[in-house]
């Protein structure tokens, strides 16, 4: 028999230094001692966003000034089947005055040192460790030397996620170029995913693979790499990426671009409508640049993927 779904709202409350807040569940609750994101059940007549604002006021004594929809994940616990609506809370006011947890902790994405986490939250921590800006390479257009220089500059500027997508690059150049790029990225702790080349990614020790929409449609199981994402254009493809348990999707085009001039751009509203309620992070692509980050995240994007604007000029 299918169980009633309990709607829950949870907040990733962030500080300007990028750390986010977690709380340890108190004795006498389900999963006492486990760490969670502050939040609680959605009450009758509330939207999940309203529920989160109420819970953060009641539990922590803070007022939400801005919140962004992020991921929605379901989990089947012994005590309930929950649908967790995760929001990011980048702006809030008041001082923390916790009424419900045993302890609070500010932790850094990718370096959460508090355990155990509530069982539903593992993928959430992994998603939070995914950088917000993805640079997509274009060595086929600008040449290998120029692209590697651009990678060096971008890494120095803080880029930590690179999708290697060099259409038109001769195979003879590819292997050495990709190996050099991975080496540079690794020295800075950046993630490198190769567009569609699972074998090459495994062979060269890339962090993952980025599936084209065609490859996603043909894919019957998630490739065995740490990071796997996909390019998507519609809800069907986004749901397929989520079903396969991928780590992220990229959705666009937001605006018309020289690389994809023919497709109808979806704009931020289209992005929001297509990406809402998905259990995996979604990057916005197509004519976007770092200045779009606040708008993108308000529309529910995890971050931005950029081809031309990701690479600072010398
Ligand atoms: N708040 C919160 N709940 C989570 C997270 N992850 C997760 O699986 N849950 C589940 O979502 C449900 C939230 O219940 P809760 O006990 O916090 O709700 P509440 O504050 O309204 O408390 P109440 O039971 O006193 O009404 C629990 O089943 C909990 O295990 C999370 O990160 N934060």
Q: What is the pLDDT of residues 4-24, one digit of tens each?
A: 999 999 999 999 999 999 999
User: What residues are in contact with ligand 1 under a 6 Å CB criterion?
Assistant: 8, 10, 29-31, 36-37, 39-41, 75, 77, 80, 82, 84, 118, 120-121
Q: What is the pLDDT of residues 47-99, one digit of tens each?
A: 999 999 999 999 999 999 999 999 999 999 998 999 999 999 999 999 999 99
Contact 47, 7 (CB under 8 A): no
Contact 8, 42 (CB under 8 A): yes
* Residue 13 Cα distances to 69, 93, 131, angstroms: 12, 11, 17
Ligand 1 center to 136 CA (angstroms): 38
CATH code matching the domain that covers 5-128, chosen among 3.90.550.10, 3.90.79.10, 3.40.50.720, 3.40.1380.10: 3.90.79.10
Which atom of ligand 1 sits closest to the CA of residue 59?
A: 20
Which atom of ligand 1 sits closest to the CA of residue 77?
A: 28
Q: Enter the DSSP assignment of 282.
A: E
Which residue minimizes the CA distance to atom 17 of ligand 1? Answer: 40
Residue for token digits 């699972």?
Answer: 198
Which atom of ligand 1 sits closest to the CA of residue 34?
A: 30
Contact 282, 275 (CB under 8 A): yes
Residue among 205, 147, 138 nearest 165 (CA): 138
Q: Indicate the length of the chain as a whole number.
A: 314
Which atom of ligand 1 sits closest to the CA of residue 25?
A: 17
Q: Is the ipTM of this complex over 0.90?
A: yes
Where exactly does CATH 3.20.20.70 map onto the chain?
Answer: 133-306
Where exactly does CATH 3.90.79.10 map onto the chain?
Answer: 5-128
Which residues, including other chains, have CB under 8 Å from residue 34's CB and lie 6 or more apart? 24, 25, 116, 117, 118
Q: What is the pLDDT of residues 96-143, one digit of tens each?
A: 999 999 999 999 999 999 999 999 999 999 999 999 999 999 999 899
Higher pLDDT, 172 or 212: 212
Q: What is the pLDDT of residues 166-182, one digit of tens each?
A: 888 888 899 999 999 99
Q: How many of the other CB atoms lie within 10 Å of CB of 41?
A: 13
Ligand 1 center to 36 CA (angstroms): 8
Residue 227, token pair as written in the block: 């990071």
> Cα–Cα distance between 19 and 104 in angstroms, integer?
12
CATH code matching the domain that covers 133-306, chosen among 1.10.3720.10, 3.10.180.10, 3.40.50.11740, 3.20.20.70: 3.20.20.70
Q: What is the pLDDT of residues 137-164, one digit of tens each?
A: 999 989 999 999 999 999 999 999 999 9
| pLDDT at residue 259 tops 70 | no
């Amino acid at each position: 028999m299918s169980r009633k779904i309990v709607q829950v709202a949870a907040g990733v409350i962030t500080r300007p230094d990028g750390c986010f807040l977690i709380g340890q569940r108190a004795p006498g609750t389900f999963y006492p001692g486990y760490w969670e994101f502050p939040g609680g059940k959605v009450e009758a007549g509330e939207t999940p966003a309203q529920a989160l604002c109420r819970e953060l006021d009641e539990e922590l004594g803070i007022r939400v000034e801005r919140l962004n929809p992020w991921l929605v994940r379901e989990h089947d616990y012994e005590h309930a089947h929950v649908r967790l609506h995760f929001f990011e809370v980048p702006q809030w006011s008041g001082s923390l005055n916790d009424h419900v947890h045993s302890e609070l902790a500010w932790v850094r994405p990718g370096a959460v040192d508090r355990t155990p986490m509530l069982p539903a939250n593992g993928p959430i921590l992994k998603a939070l460790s995914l950088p917000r800006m993805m640079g997509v390479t274009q060595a086929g257009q600008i040449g290998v030397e120029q692209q590697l220089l651009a990678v060096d500059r971008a890494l120095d500027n803080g880029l930590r996620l690179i999708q290697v997508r060099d259409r038109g690059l001769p195979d003879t150049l590819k292997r050495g170029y990709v190996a050099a790029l991975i080496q540079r990225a690794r020295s800075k702790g950046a993630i490198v995913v190769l567009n569609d080349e699972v074998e090459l990614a495994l062979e060269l020790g890339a962090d993952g693979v980025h599936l084209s929409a065609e490859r996603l449609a043909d894919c019957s199981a998630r490739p065995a790499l740490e990071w796997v994402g996909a390019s998507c254009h519609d809800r069907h493809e986004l749901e397929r990426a989520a079903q396969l348990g991928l780590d992220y999707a990229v959705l666009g085009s937001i605006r018309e671009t020289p690389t994809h001039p023919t497709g109808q751009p979806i704009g931020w509203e289209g992005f929001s409508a297509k990406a809402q309620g998905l259990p995996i992070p979604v990057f916005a692509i197509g004519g976007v640049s770092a200045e779009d980050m606040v708008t993108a995240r308000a529309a529910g994007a995890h971050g931005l993927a950029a081809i031309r604007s990701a690479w600072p000029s010398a």
